[in-house]
């Protein structure tokens, strides 16, 4: 109810920026008598809570008095009473400069007194913009928002507000973070560990926490807040308000782009810290984390920042309603509150792939990182706040899929859900999205990607790429080659060389710069891999190397190679998501047959082919039923190229221009004239 008002303490007070709140959360504060209300309002830290006659509670963010002055409702009791600050000589000079500015704007006022009111003296909204700019010129560190001027309408209040900002005493701007600090990898990393809701780091309801584990040694890194149902509601409400009422929804797209560019720059400045956190939380090898987990995340934000002001609609030549005529055009609009649920294999990069497109399109987001890898997402939240993304635009909730992920899928105010994870959970999410409010959904799910190696390939390259197609990021890679089909005539040579390469792989601490292969992400995953290999052996595949846990602390698994894998076997069909190479033979020259076998899977995420024959390369790439086909390369993803699966690997694309469509809705407008 923006603009609603009431008589409070004998004067008319208008309410702005209100949202419904859960009754139980309205707690601590000082009561404020509202005539006609069923019970007194409460001035809390978040604002003024009002109670309706139906028992529902409403949180009001700002209140405006009759004289036009607007204050945060939370400061209803404190504002006005706070003693004026003594100004230093320098600040006095600034004040006098500003007095001259006021004088030049309010040219009908003979003299600017401390009590002179900006708006009562005739200033309009254009003048607010000017005032903000004038302040910036004289004190570049003092970047006001228009709202600051509306909230400090007399000259004295205005100067006090500017000085507070200049002194850095401005509470609003300050981000309070309770860091967990660790000295590691030749640096001190500072990790936020609470939920990030509405621009603040907060505890979960009831102070619930869990421990996140370093897979390298199996030890806890720190306690992380565990989001509950009510936290999800708060985050969604914050995202909704940020979208509907906040600056974000009103901003020029290019300005939105500027903020996202800035966020990318901040991530780049902090890339070593981010990569270190990623390494200890997910077991990613540090150098790989720097290049891929973090490096590609930065590129993703930069790429999508550039899209913000290039999201075009079209004008469409429809049939005219003669004798009149028509103009039809489309507009691409953001969807609103989007939920994003991501996996643990590339914690930051999966966040970036979805969040960057989501924000570039102008949405607000509630994101659930994987429960086992929450830390880089929370660090990202800190950087987003520092980049100046308005509060409520990004909300991060570490928590369980069953609770937080489920509630996001069910939530009536969430209009889109982007999910990356397993096919099983993807189906469940899609069902929940359908049942709740038919929310738009995009799913990037599992894969069992075939890689076909023909005898006419560049063998050295095929070995090198074949290795990385399986062992990259410890096999925790949704596009990992789940099956290698090697042409009969080169099969034995290929296997021999692969084994040689596997033996050279250095297993160790991911922070060690020479390490090739780090620990699996978490214990449960490791246990599953052990079981997976046992099934393979039991069904008669030949275990050439690996197949068991490495005898050292942490969750390390040996790089594993199976040969003689038949199509009916479990390991030929199911995804391992670990460092397990599954090699099958195909008869020389049997291109169509190997294609049939490669496509005989319910997945269709990625695929690859190695051959020097251009016709064969194009033929195979055409016939492979997968969202990505790599020819003579593998894992070459790029921010500008769309990524996503066919069949039960899901639908909807990440990256590239197409990803924007996942976070936009098209409106067609037809005018008759």
Partner 1 sequence: MLRFMIPRILPQLCRLPLCRYSAAAIPAPSTKPEVHYNKLFINNEWQDAASGKTFSTINPATGEVICQVAEADEVDVDKAVKAARNAFRLGSPWRRMDASDRGLLLNKLADAIEQNSAYLAELETLDNGKPYVVSYAVDLPHVVKCFRYYAGWADKWEGKTIPIDGDYFCYTRHEPIGVCGQIIPWNFPLLMQAWKLGPALATGNTVVMKVAEQTPLTALYVASLIKEVGFPEGVVNILPGLGPSAGAAIARHMDVDKVAFTGSTEVGHLIQQASGSSNLKKVTLELGGKSPNIILSDANMEDAVEQSHFALFFNQGQCCCAGSRTYVQADIYDEFLERSVERAKRRIVGNPFDLKTEQGPQVDQEQFNKILGYISSGKNEGAKLMCGGGAAADRGYFIQPTVFGDVQDNMTIAREEIFGPVMQILKFKTLEEVVTRANDSKYGLAAAVFTKDIDKAHYVSNGLRAGTVWINCYDVFGAQAPFGGYKASGNGRELGEYGLDNYTEVKTVTIKVPQKNS
CA distance 486 to 462: 10
Element at 538 (helix H, strand E): helix 523-538
Element at 656 (helix H, strand E): helix 656-661
Nearest approach in angstroms of CB 307 to partner 1 is: 7
Radius of gyration of the chain (CA): 29
Cα distances (angstroms) measured from residue 535 to each of 196, 400, 541, 543, 577? 42, 29, 9, 11, 15
Could you say which of 217, 245, 309, 410 contacts partner 1 (CB under 8 A)? 309
Helix H segments across 111-154?
125-138, 146-151
- 618 lines the binding site for partner 1 (CB under 8 A): yes
Which one, 74 or 131, has the nearer CB to partner 1? 131
List phi, psi (to 5°) of 413. Answer: -90, -5
Nearest approach in angstroms of CB 658 to partner 1 is: 10
Nearest approach in angstroms of CB 309 to partner 1 is: 6
Selection from 551, 529, 533 nearest residue 541 by Cα: 533
Selection from 586, 214, 625, 194 nearest residue 385 by Cα: 194
* Binding segment (CB under 8 A) for partner 1, from list 165-173, 297-305, 383-391, 647-655: 297-305
Nearest approach in angstroms of CB 615 to partner 1 is: 5
- 261 lines the binding site for partner 1 (CB under 8 A): yes
Cα distances (angstroms) measured from residue 546 to each of 270, 397, 479, 517? 37, 37, 22, 13
- 673 lines the binding site for partner 1 (CB under 8 A): yes
Could you say which of 120, 190, 331, 528 contacts partner 1 (CB under 8 A)? 331
Tokens representing 438 are 């038919």
* Binding segment (CB under 8 A) for partner 1, from list 84-92, 233-241, 380-388, 614-622: 614-622
Q: Among the options 444, 476, 487, 662, which is catalytic? A: 444
Which one-letter DSSP state was computed for residue 557? Answer: B
- 121 lines the binding site for partner 1 (CB under 8 A): no
8 Å CB contact between 101 and 118: no
**Cβ-based burial of 63 (10 A; exposed 0-12, middle 13-18, buried ≥19):** buried
Which one, 81 or 615, has the nearer CB to partner 1? 615
CA distance 532 to 529: 5
Binding-residue total with partner 1 (CB under 8 A): 45
Which one, 403 or 655, has the nearer CB to partner 1? 655
Which one, 285 or 311, has the nearer CB to partner 1? 311
8 Å CB contact between 256 and 250: no
- 184 lines the binding site for partner 1 (CB under 8 A): no
- 535 lines the binding site for partner 1 (CB under 8 A): no
Nearest approach in angstroms of CB 329 to partner 1 is: 8
Site for partner 1 in 639-658 (CB under 8 A): 639-640, 657
- 79: CB partners within 8 A, 6+ apart: 71, 72
* Binding segment (CB under 8 A) for partner 1, from list 42-50, 325-333, 530-538, 575-583: 325-333
Could you say which of 86, 171, 460, 622 contacts partner 1 (CB under 8 A)? 622
* Binding segment (CB under 8 A) for partner 1, from list 102-110, 190-198, 219-227, 453-461: 102-110
* Binding segment (CB under 8 A) for partner 1, from list 22-30, 240-248, 518-526, 616-624: 616-624
- 667 lines the binding site for partner 1 (CB under 8 A): no
- 137 lines the binding site for partner 1 (CB under 8 A): yes
Angle value at C-alpha 670, between 415 and 250, nearest 5 degrees: 45
Could you say which of 71, 305, 350, 498 contacts partner 1 (CB under 8 A)? 305
- 268 lines the binding site for partner 1 (CB under 8 A): no
Residues 539-568, mask of contacts with partner 1 (x by CB under 8 A): ------------------------------
CA distance 650 to 627: 10
Could you say which of 313, 413, 527, 665 contacts partner 1 (CB under 8 A)? 313
Could you say which of 11, 107, 183, 319 contacts partner 1 (CB under 8 A)? 107
- 302 lines the binding site for partner 1 (CB under 8 A): yes
CA distance 150 to 162: 13
- Strand 337-341 vs strand 628-631: parallel, antiparallel, or unpaired? unpaired
CA distance 16 to 504: 65
* Binding segment (CB under 8 A) for partner 1, from list 235-243, 272-280, 565-573, 615-623: 615-623
* Binding segment (CB under 8 A) for partner 1, from list 181-189, 196-204, 321-329, 456-464: 321-329
List phi, psi (to 5°) of 283. Answer: 80, 10
**Cβ-based burial of 244 (10 A; exposed 0-12, middle 13-18, buried ≥19):** middle
Is 444 designated active site? yes
- 140 lines the binding site for partner 1 (CB under 8 A): no
DSSP string, 258-302: HHHHHHHHHHHHTHHHHHHHHHHHH---HHHIIIIIIHHHHHHHH
- 103 lines the binding site for partner 1 (CB under 8 A): no
Element at 257 (helix H, strand E): helix 253-269
- 573 lines the binding site for partner 1 (CB under 8 A): no
Could you say which of 159, 311, 484, 580 contacts partner 1 (CB under 8 A)? 311
- 489 lines the binding site for partner 1 (CB under 8 A): no
- 656: CB partners within 8 A, 6+ apart: 639, 640, 641, 642, 643
Which one, 337 or 624, has the nearer CB to partner 1? 624
Could you say which of 102, 158, 201, 307 contacts partner 1 (CB under 8 A)? 307
- 612 lines the binding site for partner 1 (CB under 8 A): no
Taking residue 350's Cβ as centre, other Cβ atoms within 10 Å add up to 28
Cα distances (angstroms) measured from residue 167 to each of 128, 130, 162, 299, 509? 22, 22, 9, 35, 45
Give the interface with partner 1 as residue ranges (CB under 8 A): 104-105, 107, 126-127, 129-130, 133-134, 136-137, 252-254, 257-258, 261, 299, 302-303, 305-313, 325, 327, 329, 331-332, 614-615, 618-619, 622-623, 639-640, 657, 671, 673
Where in the sequence numbering do the catalytic residues fall? 444
């Amino acid at each position: 109810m923006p603009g609603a008002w009431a008589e409070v303490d004998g004067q008319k007070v208008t309410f702005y920026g209100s949202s419904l709140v859960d009754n139980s959360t309205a707690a601590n504060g000082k009561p404020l008598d509202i005539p006609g209300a069923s019970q007194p309002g409460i001035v809390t830290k978040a604002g003024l809570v009002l109670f309706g006659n139906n028992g529902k509670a409403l949180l009001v963010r700002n209140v405006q008095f009759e004289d036009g002055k607007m204050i945060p409702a939370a400061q209803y009791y404190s504002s006005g009473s706070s003693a004026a600050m003594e100004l230093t000589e320098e600040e006095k000079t600034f004040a006098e400069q500003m007095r001259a500015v006021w004088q030049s704007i309010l040219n009908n006022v003979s003299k600017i007194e401390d009590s002179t009111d900006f708006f009562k003296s005739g200033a309009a909204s254009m003048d607010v913009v000017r005032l903000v700019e004038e302040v910036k010129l004289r004190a570049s560190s003092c970047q006001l928002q228009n709202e600051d001027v509306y909230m400090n309408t007399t000259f004295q209040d205005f100067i006090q507000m500017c000085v507070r900002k200049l002194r850095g005493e401005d509470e609003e701007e300050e981000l309070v973070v309770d860091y967990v600090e660790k000295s590691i990898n030749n640096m001190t990393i500072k990790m936020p560990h609470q939920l990030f809701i509405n621009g603040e780091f907060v505890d979960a309801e009831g102070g619930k926490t869990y421990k996140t584990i370093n897979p390298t040694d199996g030890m806890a890194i720190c306690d992380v807040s565990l989001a509950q149902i009510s936290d999800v509601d708060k985050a969604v409400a914050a995202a909704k308000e940020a979208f509907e009422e906040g600056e974000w929804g009103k901003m020029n797209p290019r300005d939105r782009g500027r903020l996202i560019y800035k966020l990318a720059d901040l991530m780049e400045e902090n890339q070593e810290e981010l990569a270190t956190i990623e390494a200890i939380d997910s077991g990613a090898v540090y150098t790989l984390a720097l290049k891929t987990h973090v490096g590609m995340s930065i590129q993703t934000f930069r790429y999508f920042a550039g899209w913000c002001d290039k999201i075009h609609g079209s004008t469409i030549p429809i049939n005219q309603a003669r004798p009149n005529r028509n103009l039809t055009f489309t507009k691409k609009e953001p969807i609103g509150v989007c939920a994003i649920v991501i996996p643990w294999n590339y914690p930051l990069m999966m966040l970036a792939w979805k969040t960057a497109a989501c924000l570039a399109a102008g949405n607000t987001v509630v994101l659930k990182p994987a429960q086992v890898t929450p830390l880089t997402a929370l660090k990202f939240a800190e950087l987003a706040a520092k980049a100046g993304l308005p509060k409520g635009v990004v909300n991060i909730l570490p928590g369980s899929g069953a609770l937080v992920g489920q509630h996001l899928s069910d939530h009536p105010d969430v209009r889109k859900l982007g999910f990356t994870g397993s096919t099983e959970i993807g189906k469940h999410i899609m069902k929940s999205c359908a049942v709740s409010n038919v929310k738009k959904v995009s799913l990037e799910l599992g894969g069992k990607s075939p890689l076909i190696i023909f005898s006419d390939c560049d063998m050295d390259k095929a070995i090198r790429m074949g290795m990385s197609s399986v062992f990259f990021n410890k096999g925790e890679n949704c596009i990992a080659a789940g099956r290698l089909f090697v042409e009969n005539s080169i099969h034995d040579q290929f296997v021999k060389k692969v084994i040689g390469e596997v033996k050279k792989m250095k297993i160790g601490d991911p922070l060690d710069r020479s390490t090739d292969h780090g620990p699996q992400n978490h214990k449960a995953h490791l246990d599953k891999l052990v079981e997976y290999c046992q099934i393979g052996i039991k069904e008669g595949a030949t275990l050439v190397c690996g197949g068991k846990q490495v005898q050292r602390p942490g969750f390390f698994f040996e790089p594993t190679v199976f040969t003689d894998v038949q199509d009916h076997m479990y390991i030929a069909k199911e995804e391992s998501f670990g460092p397990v190479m599954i090699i099958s033979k195909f008869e020389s020259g049997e291109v169509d047959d190997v294609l049939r076998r490669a496509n005989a899977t319910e997945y269709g995420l990625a695929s690859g082919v190695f051959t020097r024959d251009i016709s064969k390369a194009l033929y195979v790439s055409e016939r492979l039923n997968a969202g990505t086909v790599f020819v003579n390369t593998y894992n070459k993803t790029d921010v500008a190229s769309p990524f996503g699966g066919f069949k039960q690997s899901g639908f909807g694309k990440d990256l590239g221009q197409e990803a924007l469509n996942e976070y936009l809705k098209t409106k067609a407008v037809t005018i008759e004239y």
